[in-house]
Chains A and B, each alone.
Chain A
Amino acid sequence: MTPTVARLAPAGRPASLLRGLVSAPFLYVAAALLLSAGVLLAFLVAPLDASGLGFTQKIFYFHAAIAETALIAFAVALVAAVLRLVRSAGPPAGLEVAAVRLGLFFSGLVMVTGMIWGRAAWGVWWAWEPRLTTFLMALLVYAAYFVVRGSIDDVQRRETVGSVYAIIAFVTVPVTFFATRYLPEGLHPVVMTASEARMETSMALTFAVCTLGMVALLAALLRSEVALAAGAGALDEVKDLLEER
């Protein structure tokens, strides 16, 4: 019991440079700067799309960046789950839960930005085509993660089943990713392919800045969530200790 309480006390050693670079405040500042730069680049620097999408194409800088960030969040959950199952001292359960939760959060944003663009480009908010359908499915699969975890009382069992589920749920991510590329009846445009990125340099730069900004935001939020979960766990332990006395 006491070690956790001791861990909450401020660490005595000086923080290294690397530690400072991945600290939550730094990541929040980096995300804010990169995303602001991304907005400026997208609207002031990047040229208008010539392929017929016109001004509406600008939402892609954010839509695609958020989508990639959501997939990264689910990948983080997968890696955390595998490490937790393979090694007895893996990352804390809080990381896996936070990654799934943030993946869902970013997926919701993908839905919103995608629907706005779909309304402008296709004239409808939603179309039952492969990318949208598989993405919605992935969203539902990950939402069920919390149903599974919430229904199991035993802590040990809940974390094992949760980790196994986080691994299984990841199957939906490659299905979503490849839906646009291999299914014939898709409407969703494909910009990046293995052989070429059909973009001008300034467009690619804008896209890269936006993606980095979103990933920095994800990392910052992940850090905060993990710290919050650890704090909540420690608080529970302290409460238990107080009750024992």
Chain B
Amino acid sequence: MAGRQLIALLRRDLLLETRRLQTVLSMVIFAVVAMVVVRYGWSADLQGPSGASFPSGDTAPVGEAGPTVGAVPAAMLWVIFVFAAMLGLSRTFAHEREDDCLDGLLLCPVDRVLVFCAKAITNLALLLVMQVVAIPVFGLFFLEGSAVRLLVCTPVVLLADIGLASVGTLVATMVLHARSRDLVLPVVLLPLLVPVVIAATSATAAIVDRGAPLADVLGRLGFLAAYDAVFLVLAWGTYGLLMRD
């Protein structure tokens, strides 16, 4: 019963997204444009007056203290992902509001948690589609030879995306009836996503820089999984209250 309801809700949300590819297209374009800008600024910085240059991760001084070449692009990657996710999240309830579907949705005899699940899975799908394009571009721009290692990042990306989608959908629901919600959403969401960004960044950097201890990456993955689980439980417990009327 609940499964069929969830599939119906999900089908509706995904159908709306695929009919007008506006949201996912703007996320992809934003991510790629942002990477181009950062890559340009980065190379200008590294080939500055001193002439020092680190063209790719392979020649990076591995094992030294401080950020290596892998850490800065990894941080940039996740910051861009968060902002791209924000584009999708701010559209979570846009259809419901613009076409007055919210009342209809609330009148449906379904558990509110299923509404959350459908919205969160839709946001997750948008993120994954964006990343399927953006991560190869990242590898091409920043890693060149060692880009294949990004495949190892798949669990990191999946766990971090679940965190982005679940926290984001929960906060998007909280600000559903807020004034100037497009302004409030990032202000509220970004601090809550800082732990996800930090864990995902350090895990990605550890994988991209060769020689990272596996235990370190596993610890980050464990943290991401725990953070996801906590927010899913919180959403399950509070979503009915948030969408009461």
Residues of A within 8 A of B (CB): 85, 133-134, 137, 140-141, 143-144, 147-148, 151-154, 157, 160-161, 164-165, 167-169, 171-172, 175, 184
Contact = CB atoms under 8 A, between A and B. Distances in A.
Nearest to B167: A168
Contact of A137 (B174, B191, B227, B234): B191
A168 B230 CA distance: 9
Given A137-B194, A151-B180, 16 more contacts: A85-B238, A133-B198, A134-B195, A140-B190, A148-B174, A151-B178, A152-B177, A152-B178, A164-B238, A164-B241, A167-B234, A171-B192, A171-B227, A171-B230, A171-B234, A172-B192
A154 B177 contact: yes
A144 B188 contact: yes
Contact of A168 (B184, B187, B192, B195): B192
Interface string B175-207: 101111100100110111011001000000000
A174 B149 CA distance: 33
Interface residues on B, range: 20 to 34
Interface in B225-244: 227, 230-231, 234, 238, 241-242, 244
A153 B191 contact: no
Nearest to A151: B178
A85 B170 CA distance: 17
Interface in B41-70: none
B175 A148 contact: yes
B187 A157 contact: no
Given A151-B181, A167-B234, A171-B234, A140 B242 contact: no
A171 B196 CA distance: 13
16 contacts: A85-B238, A134-B195, A137-B191, A137-B194, A140-B194, A147-B184, A148-B174, A148-B175, A148-B178, A151-B178, A153-B179, A161-B242, A164-B241, A165-B174, A168-B238, A172-B192
A136 to B, nearest CB: 9
A49 to B, nearest CB: 28
Given A133-B198, A137-B195, A175-B195, A157 B177 contact: yes
Contacts of A172: 191-192, 195
Contacts of B194: 133, 137, 140
A29 B178 CA distance: 42
Given A160-B244, A167-B238, A171-B230, A148 B195 contact: no
Contact of B188 (A134, A148, A157, A175): A148
B242 A164 contact: yes
Given A160-B241, A160-B242, A168-B234, A141 B179 contact: no
Nearest to A156: B245
Nearest to B213: A184
Nearest to A130: B198
A225 B200 CA distance: 40
Contacts of A141: 191-192
A204 to B, nearest CB: 32
B188 A147 contact: yes
A134 B230 CA distance: 17
| 8 interchain residue pairs of minimum CB distance | A151-B178, A140-B191, A141-B191, A144-B188, A137-B194, A164-B238, A151-B184, A161-B174
A165 B234 CA distance: 10
Contacts of A147: 184, 187-188
A123 B232 CA distance: 42
Contacts of A133: 194, 198
Contact of B191 (A144, A167, A184): A144
B187 A144 contact: yes
Contacts of A161: 174, 242
A171 B87 CA distance: 25
B195 A151 contact: no
Contacts of A184: 216
Contacts of B216: 184
Contacts of B231: 168, 171
Contacts of A160: 241-242, 244
B244 A151 contact: no
A169 B171 CA distance: 11
A161 B173 CA distance: 9
